Amino acid sequence: MKFFDFKTRREGWLAVRVAGGRLAAVHVLRGGQARARVAALIDFESAGDLTRDLQRLKRSAGAVRAGCIAALETAQYRLLQVDAPPVPAAERKEALRWRLKDMLDFPCADAVIDALEVPAPDGRARQVLAVAAPRREVQPVVDAYTAARLGLEVIDVAESAYRNLAAALAAQAGESERGQVLLALDAAGGVLVFVWRGELLQVRRIDSAAASVAPDQRYETFDRLGLELQRSLDMFERGHSHIGLSRLWLTAGAATEQLCAFLGSNLYLPVEALDLSGVLDLSAAPALQDPETAAPYLVPLGLALRVESA
């Protein structure tokens, strides 16, 4: 997903997310290394003003010459799965604008639109995951990065980050031809993504407090979540019988280990805790091996794993 494309000579990515009253950023270097290397982590309380936050980020990052990726928050955009318009690629965004006009709660004419292709067995995308954001949400982000003199190259969404993480894990395990499921839970709920051949197939929002409920109250919450996941897996397999699911990757902050054990004994699909060290060199950021510490950085880390041609 790339709403804007301002090419610069960069040293990796500086991916940034502001959520829950805090700014979290990661500097990730790709180069020719087998695994991308996390060079720096930055986290601080947001001042409630994006320009001020980014100016502070720039001071913290020092002389880093990285292209910036900004993550939009869920409330700032809509993600809709629709039939792919039968038009040339150059005309797709405008065709999607017309297709989405009755599905959005803001004027479609003023929306910034992009799309992720949903892979099909024959290689032809019959559906797309369309991302639409009101310009009033996107333009202030662009303006803030410009004011802070940070090189904004990409504006993206959390679903892309989770796609990138699942795709990297699948590639590392040699399972890109099998479906991967990733469940990311935090205090606000969760996101369940299905990935195949490195692309998003399906996204579901999960309303669950499993990542934040008190330890002595987890069983009932885990049980409800397990039933919802089982239904989601069954529905996916009915609609995508040509895809065999390999495993479910889980990240749920401090609850990761306990929830992983619970789901592993209640779902037919193998469940594993998301292991960032499998796809990232964490030698400069070993704290990321702890799921609770890693939680606020997951979206920036996933966005920094974007794959694109030079």
Q: Is 282 helix (H, G, I), strand (E, B) or coil?
A: coil
What radius of gyration do the chain's Cα atoms show? 19
Residues listed for the chain: 310
Between 101 and 8, whose confidence is greater?
101
Tens of pLDDT along 18-60? 999 999 999 999 866 678 999 999 999 999 999 999 999 999 9
107-162: per-residue pLDDT in tens? Answer: 988 899 999 888 887 666 688 999 999 999 999 999 999 999 999 999 999 999 99
* pLDDT number for residue 282: 96
What's the pLDDT score for residue 123?
Answer: 61
- Note the pLDDT of residue 6: 46
Question: For residue 64, how many other CB atoms are within 10 A of its CB?
Answer: 19
Is the pTM above the cut of 0.85?
Answer: yes
d(CA 3, CA 110): 14
The C-alpha atoms of residue 179 and residue 15 are separated, in whole angstroms, by 27
47 contact partners, CB below 8 Å, separation of at least 6: 53, 56
Q: What band does 308 get if pLDDT is binned at 50, 70 and 90?
A: low
3-class SS of residue 42: strand
Class for domain 75-135, per CATH? alpha beta
Calpha distance 25→5 (Å, rounded): 20
| Domain residue limits, the chain | 75-135, 175-274
Using CA atoms in the order 111, 107, 101, 74, what is the torsion angle rounded to 10 degrees?
60
What whole-number percentage of the chain has pLDDT above 90?
Answer: 74
120 bridge partner residues = none
CA–CA dist 146, 165 (Å, integer): 29
Q: Which CATH number fits domain 175-274: 3.40.50.2000, 3.30.420.40, 1.20.1250.20, 3.10.20.340?
A: 3.30.420.40
pLDDT in tens, 255-303: 999 999 999 999 999 999 999 999 999 999 999 999 999 999 999 999 9
Split at pLDDT 50, 70, 90, the class of 225 is very high
* Closest among 137, 168, 8, 127 to 72, alpha carbons compared: 137
Is-same-fold flag (75-135; 175-274)?
yes
Angle at 308 between CA 307 and CA 310, to 5 degrees: 135
Mean pLDDT, the chain, whole residue set: 91
Kindly tell me if the per-residue pLDDT of 7 is higher than 70.
no
pLDDT in tens, 61-86: 876 788 999 999 999 999 999 998 88
Q: What was the pLDDT predicted at 4?
A: 45
Task: Give burial (CB, 10 Å; 0-12/13-18/19+) of 310.
Answer: exposed
Check if the beta carbon of residue 276 is closer than 8 Å to that of residue 294.
Answer: yes
Query: pLDDT confidence of 309, banded at 50, 70, 90?
Result: very low
* 92 three-class SS: helix
Query: Which three-class secondary structure state does DSSP give residue 158?
Result: helix
pLDDT of residue 1: 54
pLDDT at position 124 is 62
